[in-house]
A and B are shown apart, each in its own frame.
Chain A
């Protein structure tokens, strides 16, 4: 009789210890992440100027579909998403498979150099890109010296060039970051697989598409979801590089939400509602990517 009860206490003891270890983190996440999220959800059903808020039901959610600037910001964000994420992931994959080559010298140096951009501050790199593409910046200077341009081209005041500059900046900043994930994924692929393919006469391109890509699928899925999430929340580049301009042509959703909360007459209810739209979009896109990319079950 005493034996099973002792077992129970041991089991419970272990269980309790487990919970004890979990508790601090779980409580912190609960109070610092989930409670604010819930409060934000409540806030998104309210409207009013500054501190005087009143209930308004779903008004904020219907309102955002009539907001031309917000719709513009959604379009811009999706433009970045559709162009930049695939480009970045392809570059990262190519770089990773080049740098995974065993015969390559100075691998560590190259890896570090490509990863280094994402160790820079978001604001600092955005400001540097802004000065690179300024009227008297180095890009214009080089293009003029090469005779491609006669007069400086104002990259950041033209709609399409401003968006493209943001995409270039994002590529520079995040390609190395994704490459590291692929490199880690590549470590798990046996080198003998490649050797076997080589013996069978497969070219480098063939082994990339037939071996590397399929075996890296889980990592590709992970980076795709992370990049999608990151792009939908894009903020620093829009604020610091182009300031959303010209004429809102490069403003992102997060930038507009920030303006709505802190630059304009504060409308936190509406801003919270827009944030929840981003959450919903991220969830839908991640779900779609999982359905398309993950065939494990």
Chain B
């Protein structure tokens, strides 16, 4: 043990001094420090992981390769789901072992890009959790880094079509859908009551009605109804998808300039902001803080936000959920949308694809027991058979005894499918710039034209 620690210390000093060499400037010297700190930490971590991994794979090789490595990022949510899946699968395969490594999404993306760009895939795990919005981009950029799952024995027809669509590239399935991002409207019933409203006044409504109700709440309590992170266009994307629209056409070209739905969305967003019903904050923490602290009387977001809402234990029983408002003047408008969510992908570095296929097919695509077990953590299934389970009908006291899970599964079946596009993040950032300038008084047409130019520029490699 002592020698191992010594080795780790020596290794990290070496990395430190190496990175130190490179640092020639004030700034890079600073970053080098943190880089080195992170590096040595990571080195120690992966060192340890590699150790156990090596030992495992040594054993596993003898037992026929029964170990899989997985990257995902949330200990309470998707990592927990993997551990539960391991337990389920171990019932039939006692030798099976999972090596789940906590890796934040940004790091997953950086590591995939680095590994795939260098052509050395050996650093990748067997299974990786991928954000749905990044799926197309990664598979199209690095087709050799991922395994086509179409003929893997996994039945994709049992997943919600809108959800599975994120991970279909050129007609082939590359991902096993995991969590549900159906949009819910969340409201503080006690605050609404002060304005003489109930959650029914927010069910199946339009954004115009929402603003009207929001003003009543603002007058009565001084609290805005919704907060959003400035410079991020989550709400814009949710509104767009609620009408089945997107920033791209079928053929992959940008659909920004003459997109009437987008115009309606931008106008609605500005109206929300101008009325004071929506307040913009600077960061994600501030966003969560705004409703957890009770300063804001609700939010509209993917159903995974319920986990954050439930951290405000003092507000238990005072929250209710319903569907989101719909766009006005758009013929395809609905009260349902999707935000976020992720899917499991198998990397080309997986040596034992049969095991990975079988594991995924008999857990995330074949076990109601698994979905029942992970339901308390807020992981709602996109796998249809799981929704029929009794566990989904149980009421949640935090939301006044409402059967929240069943409601969300119902919403998710009504979400219109739309086109993500390979250049999703480029378009998203361009539209975020447009909305910021539009709110500050610029002309909508000009801003949309600029956004379209930016996206087209990025697409013309």
Contacts and interface: CB of A to CB of B under 8 A. Distances in A.
Contacts of A33: 21-22
A268 B282 CA distance: 30
Interface residues on chain B, size class:
35 or more
Interface in A143-185: 154, 156-157, 173-174, 177-178
A230 B423 contact: no
Contacts of B27: 229-231, 233-235
Interface stretch (A9-17, A129-137, A202-210, A287-295): A129-137
Contact of A156 (B142, B282, B450): B282
B5 interface: no
B385 interface: no
B24 A229 contact: yes
Interface residues of A, number: 57
B119 A51 contact: yes
A173 B285 CA distance: 23
Interface in A116-135: 118, 121-123, 130-131, 133-135
Contacts of A28: 18, 21
A68 B453 contact: yes
A69 interface: yes
B158 interface: no
A261 to B, nearest CB: 7
Given A245-B231, A246-B230, A265-B422, A67 B457 contact: yes
A44 interface: no
A189 interface: no
A266 B231 CA distance: 22
A154 B140 contact: no
Interface in A229-287: 229-231, 233-236, 243-248, 259, 261-268, 270
A32 B230 contact: no
B461 A122 contact: no
Given A130-B282, A157-B280, A262-B109, 10 more contacts: A47-B461, A48-B461, A50-B142, A68-B453, A130-B283, A134-B282, A136-B295, A227-B26, A229-B25, A266-B141
29 contacts: A32-B22, A33-B22, A47-B461, A48-B461, A49-B141, A50-B116, A50-B140, A51-B117, A51-B144, A66-B457, A69-B454, A122-B30, A131-B285, A154-B230, A156-B282, A226-B26, A229-B24, A229-B28, A230-B28, A230-B30, A235-B27, A235-B31, A247-B434, A262-B106, A263-B425, A264-B423, A265-B425, A266-B117, A270-B461
